[in-house]
Amino acid sequence: DDIREAGTYKSERIITTPQATAIGVAGSSGKILNFCANNYLGLSANNDVINYGKKALDEYGAGLSSVRFICGTQDIHKQLEDKLSKFHQREDTILYASCFDANAGIFEAVLTPEDAVFSDELNHASIIDGIRLCKAKKARYLHRNMADLEEKLRTTDARIKMIVTDGVFSMDGNVAPLPEIFELADRYGAVTFVDDCHATGFFGRTGRGTEEFYGMLGRCDIINSTLGKALGGAAGGYTTGPRELVDLLRQKSRPYLFSNSLPPPVVASASKVIDMLMESSELTAKVQSNTRRFREAMTKAGFTISGMDHPISPVMLGDARLASNFADEMLKRGIYVIGFSYPVVPKGKARIRVQLSAAHSEEEIDRAVAAFIEVGKKLGVVS
């Protein structure tokens, strides 16, 4: 009851169609425009991706009923790992059931009590939980604050120093200052780790993520990312980096050793998306142009949009109940968005997190902006 009274209770709306820009929602008539999915490239219901997954279902079965090292590795698993390595320009890649598992499985396997890990205070919950599992010394630095990070690096005598950051922070749409992080890593002999879940496939000129956004492709030591957002949207995560690291994770990473292999249709779907990205950057360019269109129109209308030219475009409202009511009003107008409030974001910083997709048309974006303006005036957010 306290959660409901605070306006932070999270209800689950029921979708009755495949994930797409226009979806069916239980209790609503007609199709609703979806502006809150991680479906950045619009490929979750792409026919070519679906058919590739169906083909794998027929050829390889529904699942492996095994972990990888017993009898759970098919040739398609190795092929996808190889494709991801080439896409990221890394030596090797290891697949997990999710990026949450990838983050849970790396720090404990790699770091010892003689080591230290330095984590941005707003890193994803999976990073926080993964770091808790390891025995290294732990330090949180202020969000994107390089002076604070340097002070913590300067005062440690750890054997391995690992700097850990999200590439793009999922609640705010802002980007880690990788050039400064890499500079500090060089100065203090630290290893760099980036979780690029909200960048892989669509951020940077060819979709290779936060490194490419800064023109520093190949600079990060370790990248963790997901297959469950831009890369088909089904499930799965991975770590990509030095071959020696991946070999170690195959031997010691508990989520890898004790979780079922990714199902063949999921592997095939992601593999098809990687093929598409290697052939063309058209979808990456489209989501970026859609992002500019939405952000510019909303800013002109008087809304405060957080973040940095990223498809995650949070509409800042402040009050938790206002954010929840705003989302309900948007649904009445055929726009599916969700209000985010504490504990997902800090108190007093509730927002509607809008996410753009390459599949959105300009007309759909304009319709969403018009609905935001109408509701914003009704609720006193804009004049």
Which residue bears the tokens 């017993």? 70
Question: Is 135 considered catalytic here?
Answer: no
Determine how β-strand 191-195 pairs with β-strand 161-166: parallel
The residue whose two tokens read 């753009």 is 356
The per-residue b/e assignment along 208-245, b for 16 or more CB within 10 angstroms, e otherwise, is bbbbbbbeebebbbbbbbbbbbbbbbbbbbbbbbeeeb
The four Cα atoms 347, 150, 116, 125 give a dihedral, to 10 degrees, of 20
**Identity of residue 66:** S
Catalytic residue (one of 124, 198, 286, 360): 198
170 counts as catalytic: yes
Identified catalytic residue from 229, 272, 310, 349? 229
The CA distance from 290 to 245, in Å, is: 38
Q: Which of 119, 170, 313, 341 is catalytic?
A: 170
Q: Tokens 């026919």 label which residue?
A: 47
* CA distance readout (Å), 249 to 39, 91, 185, 288, 321: 29, 14, 23, 35, 44
DSSP 40: T
| Strand locations in 121-180 (E) | 137-141, 161-166
Catalytic annotation, residues: 170, 198, 229
